Amino acid sequence: MCTEFNLKIDESTELLDTRIFDSYDTNELLLLSDTIKQSCFEFLFNSHIECCPYCGSVHIVKAGKNSKGTQRYKCNNCKRRFINSTNHLMHWSHLSKEQWEILFYSSLNNDYLSKTAKLVGISIVSAFYNRHKLMYVLNELINKKQLSKKIALDETYLTYQAKGFVNQNRRGISKDKIGIACAIDEDGNYVVHTADRGRPTSSTLIDIFKNTIRSGSIVISDSQRSYHQLMDALNIKWVKIPSGEKSKDGYTLEMVNHLHDRIKAFFRGKRNVMTHYLQGYLALFQYSELHTMMIGSKMFQDEFMKINNILSGIRNKDICPEVNLYKTLYEC
C-alpha cells in the first residue's frame, strides 16, 4: 500500500533533498508528485494576488490575517483592506473550492442545470446564480484573438426572449429574433457576439469586429447591406457572394455555417434563455470548445485558478432580467 503524504506549503518551505526519494517505489513517487502539485495549487489559489480589487493598483502589502486565518492585504493607493477572494468569482459565494470545481466541470460539459445542481449538492436556484457568475467571468476571456487570412462572416438567429415580451411569431428575420454575429478564420479561431434584434446594423458589426479582424485578411460574406460599411471601416479585401449563390470564385461560407450548427446544437434543450444572458452562454460555448481537451485533464485546476483571479464583483442581485450583465449592442 502506498504511503499517504501530508505536505504543508508556506513561504518558509525549503528545497527538498532528493535523496529521500531513493527509498520510495514508483507508485509512492507518483502519489508524492500528485500531492505536491495539489499543495502548490492550494497555496497559489489561496495566496495569489496581483492587484487591488477596488482600484486596480498593484501597490499592495500584507496586512495580517482575519479571524479565519486568511491572509489580508492593504492597498497603498486607496487604503482599503481585502482578502484574496474579494470581488472575485468565489467572494460572494458559500460554495467550497471543490464545489466550484465541480460546477465549472459540469458547465463546460454543457450539463442541464438540474444535473449540475445535483453534482454540486446545491439547489437549482443556487446553481443558476453561480453558473451565471462563472459565465460572466468567462466572457472576459473570449473573443480576444484576432482573425486573419481567410475569414467567413455571417450571422445566425435565436428567438428573442425578455421579460414582458410577447413573441409575435412573425415570419422571416424580424424583431422576434436576436442576431448572433459570427466570424471564423481558416485556422479555426472565431468571434461570436450578440448583435441586434433582426438583421445586425453596420454600426453594431463595426463595434464587434473592428478590433478582431487583421488588415490584409480576406473576408467572405453574403451581400447583406450592412456589410458594405463594415468592409469600408475594415479596409480589407471583401469577397461578396451574390444573393442566391453558394460560392464565388471557390470561396464559400461553409466554415461559418458549420459554426452556426454547433451554436444551435449547444442551445438545443436550453429553453427560454433570456437574451440578457445570451452573451454569457455564448462565452460558455466558446470557452468549452476551446478547452475540450482540458476537461478531465490536469490542466483543469490551472484554468480554474486563472478564472478565479479575474475581477468580477457580481452578486446574486445583479443577475436578474432588469439588469444586463453584458454590453448591450441591441435595442431592448
Quick: pLDDT tens for 148-187: 889 999 999 998 888 777 777 787 788 889 999 999 999 9
- Residue 73 C-alpha from the chain's centroid: 28
Q: What is the pLDDT of residue 2?
A: 43
* DSSP characters over 143-172: S-SPB-SEEEEEEEEEE---TT------SS
For residue 322, the tally of other CB atoms under 10 A from its CB is 7
Q: Decide if pLDDT at 300 tops 70.
A: no
Q: For 264-271, which contacts have Cβ atoms below 8 Å and span 24 or more sequence positions?
A: 264/156, 266/110, 267/158, 269/112
What residues are paired with 61 via a beta bridge?
A: 74
What residues are paired with 192 via a beta bridge?
A: 182
Average pLDDT on 298-326 reads 72
Spell 125-148 as b/e; 16+ CB within 10 A means b: ebbbbbbbbbbbbbbeebbeeebb
pLDDT in tens, 7-52: 444 444 445 555 566 777 777 777 776 666 555 545 544 555 556 7
Q: Please tell me the CATH code under which domain 150-294 is placed.
A: 3.30.420.10
Q: Decide if pLDDT at 1 tops 50.
A: no
pLDDT in tens, 54-102: 676 777 788 788 776 777 788 888 888 776 666 667 777 788 878 888 8
Overall pTM surpassing 0.75 (yes/no): no
